[in-house]
Amino acid sequence: MNKYITLLILSFAVLFYSCDSELELEPNDSVSLEFDKLEDFELTLNGVYSSFTAASYYGELKLAMEAWAGDDLKISPQNNGQGAFIHHWNYTSGDQNTEAIWGRIYTTIFRANLIINNYEGLTPEDDMEAQRLNEIVSQAYGLRALAHFHAYMFFGERYNDGSELAVPFVTEIGIEQNPPRVTTNELFGQLKSDLNQAIELANPNFQVKTFGPAAMYTVLAHIALFERDWNGVVTHVNNALDAGAPGLADASTYLSMWNVQDIDGGENIFKINFEPTNARIGNIFYIPSLDVGYYWVTDDLLQLYDQDNDVRFEAFFDLSDFPRVIKYVGSPPANPNVADAKVYRTSELYLMRAEANYELGNDGDALADLDAVRSARIEGFSSPGETGGDLFDAIVTERRKELAFESRRFFDMRRWNMPIDRIDCTANSCFLENDNHRFVFPIPEAEVFANDEMVQNPGY
């Protein structure tokens, strides 16, 4: 990771240009920052959050790469090659997109590590400052875990028994690092440790724009979902709800959630706030100034919705002229496509618990959670009362409908060991076998060359 660590140091120097603390590169290739007051940690935490807004993270690639690789979009006649290599499943280790998101994720981790590696050197002046320092450190641990988990979803080998290779778990801030990939069991163990530490230090009175206890428990539930630890999923979901995750939004609130004015409302557990000076994430799907959508929503996804009664249809799509995605339309006309990225929402808690209870044989509890989501979204909904395989199929369908374009579908299909079968397809390839190596993205070529300990994913 030599290349990226060096780049991270240089980029972080820019972050600190206006404060008293200076970035110094010592002869022994360590990183020294004068974290001698609380404001230094505040500034660094702001840098962690700002890293998520980069175009190479939630500003574009986190959402776009998953959507391009999945089955909810098709290349439109307006496309001039945007994302085509990924949509055609032709990505290689030299792909710029995979290199960019890898680098940005580890930039975020590096910034969190600056807090974690330095906070014990600060002696708070009073109890209030001690509490605030704990809150900062809590968020640093939690966000470090979240970023590592994102790296795993893109670059970690498919989960089998936990012995497969995940991604490097990085805790140091030295320049010269060659961190090896750890196993999935080792990575998940470290993430759980980080999240439990974060919960212990957290302020329970969290806000959705900060990474608080409800979000931490939600990540634990998501990890348990990948591990197939079904009892763990149920426990963590319950803990997230008890820790303050909001209730399911009604139709009116749900419609208002998908714009920049949604500061604290809706059913958001954690989201990335975007301002007009940040990336316009809605441009991934539709650019109003050009009246262009490089990708259109597929007919088979549209047909899953009750187009007359499901609020999501109005919130997500506009079929005038061409089938465009408007889920992140923002607040036009002043700031079109400036919208907040929803990292976790309460509806996903219900759907995770529904899946876990189905796997545990608790069909009644699973159906209750599934119906809670469907009733909140579909006016006049009447439950079909699914059981058995039909219940699982309904959960799969509801995750696709509810979490469309929120960076879930492609990873869910890998997790379920299901193929991608594009029904409404304009790509060169329309079917990805369930065991195809392209369900896992390649480790960037530059990282493999720079890090002697790095092992490439199979097939690349």
* Amino acid 54: pLDDT: 96
* Amino acid 2: pLDDT: 41
Please tell me whether residues 410 and 438 are part of one structural domain.
Answer: no
* Amino acid 260: pLDDT: 61
CATH number at residue 14: 1.25.40.390
In-domain check, residue 383 = yes
Please tell me whether residues 312 and 199 are part of one structural domain.
Answer: no
Please tell me whether residues 37 and 106 are part of one structural domain.
Answer: yes
pTM of structure = 0.93
Please tell me whether residues 48 and 140 are part of one structural domain.
Answer: yes
Please tell me whether residues 130 and 70 are part of one structural domain.
Answer: yes
Supply the angle between the helices 346-359 and 213-227 in degrees, to the nearest 10.
30
Number of domains in the chain: 2
In-domain check, residue 60 = yes
Compute mean pLDDT per 10 residues along the chain, 460 residues long, and list them.
40 36 32 78 95 96 98 97 96 95 97 96 93 96 98 97 98 86 98 98 81 97 98 98 95 84 76 88 92 97 98 96 93 84 97 99 98 98 98 98 98 98 97 98 96 96
* Amino acid 371: pLDDT: 98
Please tell me whether residues 132 and 184 are part of one structural domain.
Answer: yes
Please tell me whether residues 48 and 87 are part of one structural domain.
Answer: yes
Please tell me whether residues 411 and 440 are part of one structural domain.
Answer: no
In-domain check, residue 275 = no
Structural domain containing residue 141? 2-203+433-450
In-domain check, residue 379 = yes
| C-beta separation of 259 from 275 below 8 A | no
In-domain check, residue 306 = yes
| C-beta separation of 454 from 181 below 8 A | yes
